[in-house]
Each structure stands twice: as structure tokens, then as C-alpha cells.
Structure 1
């Protein structure tokens, strides 16, 4: 709940510190005293637009600080703070501060950490619920009606959300699998053609290197064939170099003993014969190794070119072609397997949908039952609030399937008819300002103890009514404050003011050209005097004081 509001340099307020407690707090004062300034100031910390006109004349900046305390931090607030990386200890107050500069711009802080205004707007619904003459939020906004009815009905939203999530996931998996199968089917003919082409070629890992080496060797043999043939003619026949060396060696052998130098010459000649013989053997081996078959060379080149061409086609290396073939076979197998898996996924999605629809139908039944109870409860509150000719209806509609969600299959909207025989229509379109506030009060009382914002504010809900109706409004505000914990009411009605547990007087004063608004917490005597003023006007009579005493004693 709101425990403290500190205002600095907002319009006519120079400096103001207000402490609030539980129960019903009322704010009264003359028309134009500045009650709206307080609401504007509070709106700043709740994320309203920062207008430079709010800055007090002659000041460079203005600020508003609001402190909220909770026995247990609401889940919505805890989640928003966690997302913003703001830690708050158990029992620690939530302090929101907003600064506005006179030349434009504003800053926001949550527990002294700078934050964006968007966070304030996210926190606002769980902090303060404001209902005024021109309220277009809260209970008037149809977007929140389903949530309020569910809270009233105790709908199992958590279970419904789980089933919705399960169904959504099952449909997503099915959709993904269908897309994969459709894509595979589109690729199937191409896969089959590619696989047939590769299967006919039967590429082997390492084949490219072997073919390249063989091709290079055969190309080399082709290039050296003429030279080797000429060398063969040189080394063959009776007049070849080797034959001549052998003849010379035999002749020298016969005379080598005649002189030592001849013996040495023979030895050298023998070595030459041996070396020449080895050279001949090498030449023969080289010629045999480099022998080539033009047909074999052509076949090797053709095979190598085919492998490289198909590798380029599939954008891979030649050695990766066998793996490419395996991938293609796997994809083709997956087409058949994927089609079989579709049946399983379709069955799972159908089952998840049945579970969701069953839960949504139970939620629908709970809503219909609660709607009837709520309509009766609101109807019972209308007559005392001088709305006896009006009718209230909780309209529950069925949404088209594309709009189903975690909330179920229903649309919910609160409707009213203010005159007999008139058609039901949305709250904001039918009711006048005063009627709208009283409708909201009736609905809030009917929804009491079902949760909501930590603080509820009614702005001049009693405008245009008095007497018994004002007393009924005061009694219901007090009852609602008891159920909700904290309720603040800006009022012109003495009957409502008398119901307050705390009473704040808003006053405007002028000193020369300076006008200021102040707020004071009234004691019992002050309350009696203010209520007497509200009863009698500018001149407070003894009769008005006596009547004020009777009002205060009667609550």
C-alpha cells in the first residue's frame, strides 16, 4: 500500500509530505484547492507523461516520491523488478521517484536505481487503481474484465495455461515436421537423380590421388618415350658402348701382367663395365616403368575429370563424395520415416488440443457460474447507489479458434443498461461520469476480497449525489477499504468524509502574488469543523457542527 507521498515544486505545491495508513482515507477541500494536483503528482510516479507545466513557476525542477510497503510483494511487481535487475529485500519498501525539469525531460528511479518510465507503467496496475470522472482504465477497460471474472470465479488459469502451452508446442513440432517433409518431398526426385548418378560412378575415397599419380606417370612416359627408344638403340647391338668396353677389357686382360699400369687400367675398365651394366639395367627398368598405354591414360583422365566435375556440382571435395552419397540415402530414408512420424505428431497434437479444450470448457463453466453470481451481487449494490433502474451484465462470448490462448476460448466484458428496455452496452459508452463511478464502486464492492491493486483511489465518486445515496457510497467505500486494505477518496460529500479513518484537508492560500496548496491531516476537532463546513458552506453554524457530530457518531 501507499505509505508516503513527498511532493516538491509541483504546480502550487512547494513542499508536501503525506503519510498514509490502511483503511479509508478521505481528502476534502474547497473546489479549486488543488486536489487534482495530488492526483497528477501521484500519476507521475505511476508513469504518466511528464508535462513541464507541472513544474512550479520559478523552479528549475520538480519531484515526486512515493513509498509503498507490502506484507508480501505482489508477483507482478516482483517479476517486473526481477526483469529490470532490481533487488528488493523482504519487508523493504518500494520507493519510486520521478523528477521533471522545467525545460523538458524527466528521470525515474526505483529504490534509487535509474529506470525507464516504461517500468513505472508496468508497475502501476499492481500499485494504484484510480477511478475518476473520466476513467478509461481499470474496470472500464474491457481488456481486464476476463482477469477480474477469473479472479472472482477462482478459475484454474495455471492449469489452462499449461495445457495451452502443451498444445502450442505440439502444433509447433507438427508444423515443423510437416515443413521438413514437404521440403524433402520437393527434393526427393532431385535426390534420387543425384544418388543414381553417384551410384553409377561409385566414387572411392583416395581415388582422386591415385588417378592423379597414375595419370602423371603415364603422361611422363609419353613425353620420354622417344628419348628412351634412342637410348635403347645406343645400348643395344655389337657396336654399343658397353659391348666396346667389354671387348677392350678382354684384350687388356691378355696383356695386363706386362706392366703395373696396364693392370690398373684393366681394373678401371672393369669398374666402367660394371657401372655401364648397371646403367643399362636402370634404363631398361625406367623404360618398363614409364611404358604407357594411350587407352589407359585416356581412361584415367576421363575418370578423374568425371569425379572432379561431380564434386564441383555438389560443392565438395572428391574424397567427400562417398559421404555425400550416404547423406542423400539418409535424407531419402528420412522422407519415408518423416511421413510415418507425422502420424505420431498429429495424434499428439490432437490429444493436446482435446486436453486444452476440456480445460477451457471447464473455465467457461466456472466463468458462466461466477458471472451469474457477480451480476446478482452488483445488482444488489445498484439500488442504494440510486441506480435502481440500471442493469448489469457480465457478457461471455466464444472466441474464434485463431484467438484462443492461455486464457481460454472466452471473451468477457462488463455491460450496463441504465434505462428500462435499453440495450446493454460497454460501461464507458453508457454511463455519465457520476454514474460510471458508482457502477465501478458497485462492481468493486461485489468483487471485494478478490484481489487487485495495493491502493484504490476514487476521485469525486459522489459528485452530483447527496443524502441517502452519499451515505450509501460512504458505507460501501468503508466496506471496500476494510476488504482491500487501503482506499483513498477525494470527496465533496460530508457523508463520505465522515466514514474516513483518516481525513486530509486540502487548502489553497495566497501571499501577495504567491499562491500555495497545502494538505493537513486533521484531528477529531478538525474533522468536525471540516465536515460542518461541507454541510453549511462558507459560514459554519452551530447546527452544522451538531450535524457533523451526528455524522461522525453514526459511523
Structure 2
């Protein structure tokens, strides 16, 4: 519900802090006192069209802040979470309107687009007035309202799921069909490429191995020369082995006289001679493997260049040629086995479509039954609202299967006729201002048990009626207020007397010293002030004791 409203520099309101409660709240006051300003300000906070004319005279900008207290599972919170915004605690909607026409929107002190502000605002507040064309008057929402009234939300969600499943199945079929057609057109080319790649028989890592082998063979002559010099340094007459053997012989001759002091040195030379012999053998083995073979080099180069040419031709890395061949073989296999898969996908798409149509047809039958019940519920509300000659009908047009959509086969419209024999038509086109408001009220009462926005606002729903009809309007508003917060702008004392809370809007005092103009003020009325206001509504300019007594009787008959 709307728990608080703060207004700064909007038209004739300089500063207003208003706390609101649950139940039915009446907003009354003399014509021109500024009731519409209050609604315009709230509309601005929930995403209505911006208007620089709303900024108070002499101010550079105006602002409106609306605070809502709603359950954790309220749809408005889901909208915020889906947009990645904070949705915890109170929901605080704020709009700043600048004099130059610019406007900024905030939710929980986070800057948002006006579109998102309006989306959240629509989930929190419904405003119904003589010129309002949203909510119940918008045909695009009638199907959802009927589903909600008939308890068909789960069935509608299942139809939507089956529609999506059928769409996915049909997409899989069409994509495979297109792929198969492309593959057929390229079949000869695919066979040719696969043949080339099979003949080449590339292997992952082969390019690197060949490049290293080629580089080694190209430098083998220089490497062989260096290896020969290294071998000579080890095994020539003046090489390492010869010198070590000479040192070993000399130490061996004097080892006995040294009393064991040379044993470790002799052992170390022995080990060195063994290591030197092993090094010589490895060098000789490497020399044999590096013997330059022009034919072998040419073969490696030919293979390497062939692999790289194939990679350039098919625009893939050489290491991916084998994977390319596998993929092209799969495409050829798809061509050969594609018809079987295509038939299987076609059957799946047909089955998914049949399941959707079966559920959609069942939902249509349920909607038709729910429409009849809704018509009866609204009809019961029309007579007390002085609309007993009017007819309300929920029209469910069942479309052809080819015109079906995610919401099923049905187009739902709320139609009315205000006089016997007159043709039915849309609410917004047939009803006059006062009739339209009462039709909306009758619909809201009929739909009340199926949920709505937590805050409902009715702007002069009692226009053009009085007495018993006005009382009937008030009692239906009070009935709505059992499950929602209802604010009603009214000139009817019968309606105001049925409210649990009463706000009086008046012009009094002056604005800030800028231009000494009259300001709009809002007062929360206690019992005595409320009695006086209702008496004024009954009597006019001069409030009499008789009017006060009549006001007491109206209040006593209230909730």
C-alpha cells in the first residue's frame, strides 16, 4: 500500500508530508481546491507523463516521493530484481521535475528510466478516473483479468510453456531442414575436400614436428662439424682421454708409496674416463643421425608445405585439419542420414503443436465458462449503481489455429451496452464519464477477490449520482477496501461517510514569500472535523445544525 507521500513545489503545493493507512480513504474539498494536483503529483511519482507546468511558480524544480509497503512476493519487487536493482524493504519511488522540462526518476535512491518507474508504478497503483484509459479500459489486459478471475493463471502458464516448446521444436526442424538443403547443394564439394584431406591424412602436432626436423637437417652440416671437434677434443692423441690416462698411470705408480692418499683421486679419474667414453659415444651417435640427406630434407619440406597449403586453403590452423575432415564427414553423414532425422524432427514438432492446441482449446472452454460467471458477477453490481439498463459482456473470440499465440487461441474484450437494444461496444467508446467510472467500479468489485494493485484510486467515481446510488458506490468502495487500499476523490457525503480515513483538501494561507499566492493544503480530519466537512458537503456554504445531524446519521451508518 501507499504509506507516505511527500510533495515539494508541485503547482500550489509547496511542501506536503502525508501519511496514509489501509482501508477506504476519502479525499474531499471545494471544487478547485487542488484535489487533482494531489493525483497529478502521485501520477508523476509512478511514471506518468512529465509536464514542466507542474513545477511551482518561482521554483526551479519540483519533486514527489511515494513510499510503498508491499509483501516480499509482490510483482513490483520481481520487476526490480529482474533489472538488477535493490528490492528490499520499503519501495521508494521518487520523481524530480525540472522547470526546463527535464525529469529524473529514482527507485530506492537508484536512478532508473521513466519506463521502469512506470512499470513498477503500474504494479503498485491503479488510478481509475473518467478519462483514464489504462487498466480495465485497456483491451490488451482483458484476457489476463479474465484468467485471474477464473483461476486460470496456471492453465494459461502451461499453454504458454507448450507454445514455447512447440516453437522450439519447429525451429529445430526448420534449422535442420535448411542445413540439409545447404549440405545437399555442397555434397560434391564436400566429398572432394574429404578425399583430399583423407589422402593428406594430417595429424595434430605434425606441423611442429616437421618444422623442427627441417630446421635440424638444414643446420646439420654445421652441427656435425661442431660435434667432430668435440669428439676430437675427447679422444685424440692430445685429447682429454689421453691426458687422463697419462695422469692415471703416473698416480698409479706412486699410489702404494702414498699410503692410500691418492686412492680417491685415482677413483675420480676412473669415473671421469668412463663419463668421457660415454660422452664420446653419444657424440658419435649424434653425428651418425645428423648425416645430411637431401632426399630426406626434400621429403620433410614437401610434406610441411602441403600441410600449410591445405590450412590456408580451408582457412584453419594446420593442427585443425584433421578436425575439419571429421566435421565434413559428419556433414556428409547428415546428408545420408538427414532425411531420417528430418522426419523425426517433423514428428516432434507436430506432436508439440498438437499438445499446445489441445491445451489451448481446453483453456478456451474454461475461459468461456469464466466469462459467463464474470458477466453474472458484474450484472449483480450494475443495478445498485443505477446502471440496471446496461449490459456487460465478456466476449471470448476463439481464433483459428493459425492465428494462435503464446496466450492461446482467444481474444478477450469487455463490452457494454448502456441501453436495451443498443449494440455492444468497448467501455471507453460507449460509456459516458460517470457511467464509465461506475462500470470500472463494478468490474473492480467483481474482480476484487482475484487480486489487483495494492492501492486503488478512484477519481469522482460518484459523478452525476446521489442519494441511494451514491451510498451504493460508497459501500462497494468500502468492500474493495477490505483487500486493498482505496483512495476516492469524492463530492458525495454518502461516500465520504463510509470512509475509515478522511483528507480535506483546501486552499489556505500563502506559498513561500516568492509571489504570495494561495497554496493548497491537505488536512487529516479527526471525528469532529470530519463531521463538519460532511455537513458542508450536505449543506453547501452555510453549515446548519440540521446538516450536522444528517452528517452524524451518515457516519453512524458507516463501517
Shorter-chain TM-score range:
0.7 to 0.9
Check whether the contact 2:202–2:307 (CA below 8 A) recurs between aligned residues. Answer: no
Q: Deviation per CA, 1:423-481, whole angstroms, max 9, x where unpaired?
A: 11111011111111000001111111110101000000111111121111111111111
| Alignment correspondent of 1:372 | 372
Q: Aligned partners of 1:196, 1:493: CA distance in 2, in Å?
A: 91
Name the residue aligned to 2:147: 150
Q: Kindly tell me: are residues 57 and 361 of structure 1, through their superposed partners in 2, closer, same or farther at Cα, counting changes over 3 Å?
A: same
- Write the deviation string for residues 212-250 of structure 1: whole angstroms up to 9, x where unpaired: x9xxx9xxxxxxxxxxxxxxxxxxxxxxxxxxxxxxxxx
**2:138 pairs with 1:141:** yes
Map of 1:130 onto structure 2? 127
In the TM superposition, what whole-angstrom CA distance separates every residue of 1:295-330 from its partner, at most 9, and x where no partner exists? xx9xxx999999998776545689987765554333
Distance apart, 1:197 and its partner CA: 6.8
Structure 2 equivalent of residue 4 of structure 1: 4
Corresponding residue number in structure 1 for 2:521: 518
Please give the TM-score of this superposition, normalised by the length of structure 1: 0.77
1:534 aligns with 2:537: yes
Q: Residues 81 and 87 of structure 2 are in contact (CA less than 8 Å); yes or no, is this contact kept in structure 1? A: no
Render the CA deviation track for 1:60-101: whole Å, top value 9, x for unaligned. 22111111112x234421221113332343xx2111122222
Other-structure match for 1:174 = 173
Q: RMSD of the TM alignment (CA)?
A: 3.1
Q: What's the counterpart of residue 349 of structure 1?
A: 349
The alignment status of 1:81 with 2:80, answered yes or no, reads: yes
Determine the structure 2 residue equivalent to 1:272: none
Which deviations, in whole Å up to 9, do the C-alpha atoms of 1:242-300 show, x marking residues without a partner? Answer: xxxxxxxxxxxxxxxxxxxxxxxxxxxxxxxxxxxxxxxxxxxxxxx9999xxxx9xxx
Output aligned runs, 1:223-302, within 5 Å: none
CA distance in 2, matches of 1:486, 1:437: 18
Match of 1:412 in 2: 412
List alignment gaps of at least 5 residues for structure 1. Answer: 218-288
Structure 1 residues 4 and 403, CA gap change in structure 2 (3 angstroms): farther
Q: Kindly tell me: are residues 45 and 315 of structure 1, through their superposed partners in 2, closer, same or farther at Cα, counting changes over 3 Å? A: closer
In structure 1, the residue corresponding to 2:173 is in which secondary structure? helix
* Post-superposition offset of 1:196: 6.0
CA distance in 2, matches of 1:319, 1:487: 72
Q: What is the alpha-carbon distance in structure 1 between the residues aligned to residue 95 and residue 316 of structure 2?
A: 63
CA contact (8 A) 1:533 1:544 kept: yes
Residue-by-residue CA offset, 1:333-372 (whole Å, 9 max, x unaligned): 1212222112222222222222222222222122111110
Question: Any conservation in 2 of the 1:74–1:126 contact (CA below 8 Å)?
Answer: no
Give structure 2 stretches of 5+ with no counterpart.
Answer: 219-291
Do residues 59 (structure 1) and 23 (structure 2) align?
no
Aligned to 1:509: 508
SS in 1 for 2:47: coil
Is the CA contact (8 Å cut-off) linking 1:503 and 1:527 kept in structure 2? Answer: yes
CA contact (8 A) 1:55 1:62 kept: yes
Pick closer, same or farther for the CA change 1:47–1:185 going to 2, 3 Å.
Answer: same
For 2:285, the equivalent position in structure 1 comes to none
SS at match of 1:449: helix
Q: 3-state DSSP class of the match of 1:407?
A: coil
Number of the residue aligned with 1:101:
98
Residue 547 (structure 2) aligned to one of 544, 547, 551 = 544
SS of 2:347's partner is helix
Cα distance per residue 1:517-547 (max 9 Å; x no partner):
0010111111111111111111112222221
Residues 364 and 398 in structure 2, CA contact (< 8 A), matched pair in contact too: no
Q: What secondary structure does 1:447 align onto?
A: helix
Q: How does 1:184-223 map to 2 (within 5 A)?
A: 184-195=183-194
Q: Distance in 1 between matches of 2:547 and 2:59?
A: 42
In 1: Cα distance, 2:341 partner to 2:306 partner: 38
Supply the distance in 1 between the matched residues of 2:177 and 2:527 (Cα, whole angstroms).
Answer: 75
Give the count of matched residue pairs. Answer: 471
Q: 1:178 to 1:533 in 2, by over 3 A?
A: same
How far apart are the structure 1 equivalents of 2:455 and 2:397? 31
User: Is 1:119 the equivalent of 2:116?
Assistant: yes
Relative to structure 1, the CA distance from residue 369 to residue 196 in structure 2 (aligned partners, 3 Å threshold; closer, same or farther) is same
Q: Structure 1 residues 470 and 325 mapped into 2: Cα distance closer, same or farther (>3 Å)? A: closer
Provide, for residues 395-442 of structure 1, a one-character-per-residue CA deviation record: whole Å limited to 9, x for no partner. 111234455333222111101111211211111011111111000001
* 8 Å Cα contact 1:108-1:117 kept in structure 2: yes
Matched residue of 1:133: which SS? coil
Contact 1:203 1:307 in 2 (8 A): no
Pick closer, same or farther for the CA change 1:188–1:516 going to 2, 3 Å. Answer: same
3-state SS in 1 of match to 2:186:
helix
> Which structure would you say has the larger Rg?
1
Over 3 Å counting, the alpha-carbon distance change for 1:174 and 1:539 in structure 2 is same
Moved more, 526-535 or 186-195: 186-195
d(CA) in 2 for partners of 1:317 and 1:16?
72
Does 1:423 find its partner at 2:423?
yes
